[in-house]
Amino acid sequence: MFYREAGQFKTDYRSDQQIFPITQDRVAVWAMAITAFTAVPYFATDYLIISILNPFLILAIAAIGLNILVGYCGQISLGTGAFMAIGAYAAYNFATHFPGLNLLVIFVLAGLTSALIGILFGIPSLRIKGFYLTVATLAAQFFFEWLFLRVKWFTNYSPSGSVVAPPLGIFGLPIATPHAKYFLVLGITVIVALIAANLTRGHIGRSWMAIRDMDIAAEIIGIRPMQAKLSAFAVSSFFVGIAGALWAFVFLGSWEPLAFDINRSFQLLFMIIIGGLGSILGSFVGAAFIMMLPIFLNQAPALFGIHLSTETVSHLEFMIFGVLIVFFLIAEPHGLARLWAIGKEKLRIWPFPH
Amino acid sequence: MGFFLEVLIGGLLVGVLYSLVALGFVLIFKASGVFNFAQGAMVLLAALCLVRMIEWLPKWFGLDNPALVIVLAALISGVMMVGVAVIIERLVLRPLVNQEGIILFMATLGVAYFVEGAGQSIFGSNVYTLNLGIPKDPVFLFENLFEGGVLVNEFDIWSAIAAGILVVGLALFFQYTRTGRALRAVADDHQAAQSVGIPLNRIWVIVWTVAGIVALVAGAVWGSKLSVQFSIALLALKALPVLILGGFTSVPGAIIGGLIIGAGEKLSEVFIGPLVGGGIEIWFAYGLALVFLLFRPQGLFGEKIIERV
């Protein structure tokens, strides 16, 4: 009744090509953005920001990055953790070797480093396809895990192997409180989401999707597979690298390579598959779902007044997590974003069914 | 020379064990097109059941013949793996028929989480030593060929023999039984198999059962080599390069891939490892698989990929 585009005429190209062509969507997104920037930090406690909102936003950035590669370009990657690690260690090294560099510049440089290495590990994708490609990304995963553990130069010869992020600050303003960090992460998330949304609906995004749907057919209609695949690897690794740098600098503070092991890669893959392949919204929904689920499962027994040993709880967590994953895949293989799309269709014709 | 051979043979013997895990993957991929990440978890589950049954059976029923206990425990574990196969087919595969490969892959990841959690909450999550009564003494081979001979663990030889018997048995089963013929038909073409009256669902149960039995053998061997613990589930990651190197659809590929990876891994660790700081085993296997793939994108023995628009 309220959600329908009847009467919203597009009279110029600009209004026809907006990200959200329907007024109600635009209003909703603006309302959400304003809430996220004003009401949320005003009401949220430190705990909420530190352990839920910040990691959620950072993982959402990584999920967007991975979704570009897997969901839009169809190249399966199990090495996301490695590219997050590259971003984190690149940022650390830029920060230690060039003190005084602007934090945002450091993040962009970290993303670029990760993008370069992403292109390198994307080259096999020109010849190897499907599940066979996972070996290239897994090679990256295990190689970089080893590299950051064994080659001391990357950790600045720290004796314990773990490194500590420098104090954060932009333009002379320190970023120390959870709220300041939240604004930093939120700002970067918004920028990344905007860039990703615009890339995926433009020329380059179309060529990714053509490659995903059938690469030989795409090649025949004039899309260059090399450019398309490698640019997907580059853009994806760029975002994932930035997410890694944020994860290390803002969320962890001090870290070792184990923070970016293969389980991180699986976690991100779960996020985009549960959320929805080929959907920016899906990346956010999936990140929220996969992030909250273990927290909820952890708290649930206490909420119902049941006391279990930590060991039992961790096993139960594994089991319930597994069951829910399978359940969601069976219920909606196209992810939560598809549920939202169906709901929107229903809303448009509500209250009349036809 | 002797040292080189020793490392090589050690690597090959470890490679046989990798093949065992990879074999389970291949069987399932061939018959149902599912990239079954839960194979490692199934190995863990089978090994846990085996080791705990060997411990519990004497307590419950007062059995004191160790051979009988081991046989009974193996039987119980086998029955459990059949049950697991039936449940997975019913609850996971059947509702997900015709979905894309990546969705099925993620579903098996979910299964892996569940099996790991369930196995450890039922059978406990400590480290258990598994003793099947196989001697573990070091023996020297080729002593007449050159001085000192080659030092090999007797246990490794026995496990290689067990793996060999398993593979030959599987080959015979596939070649000469009615069910085996049906399995090969399904592997060739799902639709054609269905149209001549082969029930797909039953074939899937059988294939997952066979994979479960393979997991039991792999679990028994790995469990007595490294003792039964959670890290066995991570074997799936070790078997992946083997699988990719050999090709997803080829049983001989899994064997030869395992041998190449096992030998390459050990040789690199011993001869290149010290130069770069050690611990390169895990990524070296993937690197090796990647190099092979660049020349043969479908793996050494995989079916040639034909693409049509």
pLDDT score at A234: 95
Give the tens place of pLDDT for each residue, A21-54: 788 888 888 998 888 888 888 888 888 888 888 9
The answer to whether the beta carbons of residues A141 and A81 sit under 8 Å apart is: yes
The verdict on A134 touching B (C-beta cutoff 8 Å) is yes
Residue B199, Ramachandran bin (φ over 0: left; ψ between -120 and 50: alpha; else beta): beta
Chain B neighbors of A220, CB-CB under 8 A: 309
> If you count residue pairs, one on A and one on B, with CB atoms under 8 Å apart, how many are there?
135
H/E element, A173: strand A173-174
In b/e form, how buried is each residue of A195-225, taking b as 16+ CB within 10 angstroms? Answer: ebbebbeeebbebbbbbbeebeebbeeebeb
The verdict on B306 touching A (C-beta cutoff 8 Å) is no
pLDDT score at A69: 92
Chain B interface disruption, residue of A313, A319, A328, most B CBs within 10 A: A319
The verdict on B280 touching A (C-beta cutoff 8 Å) is yes
- Alpha-carbon separation of residue B116 from A39, A97, A141, A234, B180 (angstroms): 42, 44, 23, 35, 30
Compute the nearest-CA separation of A315 from chain B (Å): 4
Chain B neighbors of A150, CB-CB under 8 A: 276-279
Which chain A residue is nearest to residue B113, measuring alpha carbons?
A322
In b/e form, how buried is each residue of B238-262, taking b as 16+ CB within 10 angstroms? Answer: bbbbbbbbbbbbbbebbbbbbbbbb
Q: HEC string of B21-44?
A: HHHHHHHHHHHHCCCCCCHHHHHH
**Helix pair angle (B66-88, B39-61), 10° resolution:** 140
pLDDT score at A82: 93
pLDDT score at A244: 94
Q: Is A47 exposed, middle or buried (0-12, 13-18, 19+ CB in 10 A)?
A: exposed
CA A229 – CA A224 distance, rounded (Å): 9
pTM of full prediction above 0.95 = no
Chain A interface disruption, residue of B48, B109, B308, most A CBs within 10 A: B109
* 162-201 of A, contacting B, C-beta below 8 A: none
In this structure, the strands spanning B138-141 and A163-164 are unpaired
Which chain A residue is nearest to residue B35, measuring alpha carbons?
A131
Compute the nearest-CA separation of A324 from chain B (Å): 8
pLDDT score at A1: 60
Domain layout of chain B by residue ranges:
2-239
Which chain B residue is nearest to residue A129, measuring alpha carbons?
B297
| Per-residue pLDDT tens digits of chain A, which is 354 residues long | 677 777 788 888 888 888 887 888 888 889 988 888 888 888 888 888 888 889 999 999 999 999 999 989 988 888 899 999 999 999 999 988 888 788 889 999 999 999 999 999 888 888 888 778 887 888 888 888 888 888 878 877 777 778 888 777 777 777 778 888 898 899 999 999 999 999 999 999 999 999 988 888 999 999 999 999 999 999 999 999 999 999 998 888 888 888 888 888 988 988 898 888 888 999 999 999 888 888 887 777 777 777 777 777 778 878 888 888 888 888 887 888 888 888 888 887 777 776
Q: Which structure tokens are listed for A305? A: 């007044």
Which chain B residue is nearest to residue A271, measuring alpha carbons?
B106
CA torsion, ordered A288, A294, A299, A303, to nearest 10 deg: 80
Compute the nearest-CA separation of B210 from chain A (Å): 23
Whether A315 sits inside 8 A of B121 (CB atoms) is yes
Angle at A222 between CA A219 and CA A223, to 5 degrees: 65
Which chain B residue is nearest to residue A128, measuring alpha carbons?
B297
The verdict on B293 touching A (C-beta cutoff 8 Å) is yes
**Helix pair angle (A54-67, A262-275), 10° resolution:** 80
DSSP string, A245-261: HHIIIIIISEE-GGGGS
In this structure, the strands spanning A254-255 and A163-164 are antiparallel
The answer to whether the beta carbons of residues B58 and B65 sit under 8 Å apart is: no
The verdict on A6 touching B (C-beta cutoff 8 Å) is no
**What ipTM describes this predicted complex?**
0.82
**Residue written as tokens 């206490």?**
A302
Residue partners of A258: CB distance under 8 A and separation at least 6? none
The verdict on B126 touching A (C-beta cutoff 8 Å) is no
- DSSP annotation of B1 reads -
Whether A150 sits inside 8 A of B289 (CB atoms) is no
The verdict on A42 touching B (C-beta cutoff 8 Å) is no
Whether B114 sits inside 8 A of A129 (CB atoms) is no
Sign of the CA dihedral running B89, B95, B98, B100: negative
pLDDT score at A206: 93
Whether B102 sits inside 8 A of A146 (CB atoms) is no
pLDDT score at B150: 67
Which chain A residue is nearest to residue B242, measuring alpha carbons?
A135
The verdict on B33 touching A (C-beta cutoff 8 Å) is no
| Per-residue pLDDT tens digits of chain B, which is 309 residues long | 667 777 888 888 888 888 888 888 888 887 777 888 888 889 999 988 888 888 888 778 777 777 788 888 889 999 999 999 899 888 888 888 777 777 888 888 889 989 988 888 888 777 887 777 666 667 666 666 665 566 777 777 888 888 888 888 888 888 888 888 888 888 777 788 889 988 888 888 888 898 898 889 888 888 887 778 888 877 778 888 888 888 887 788 888 888 888 888 888 888 877 777 667 777 888 888 888 888 887 777 777 777 776
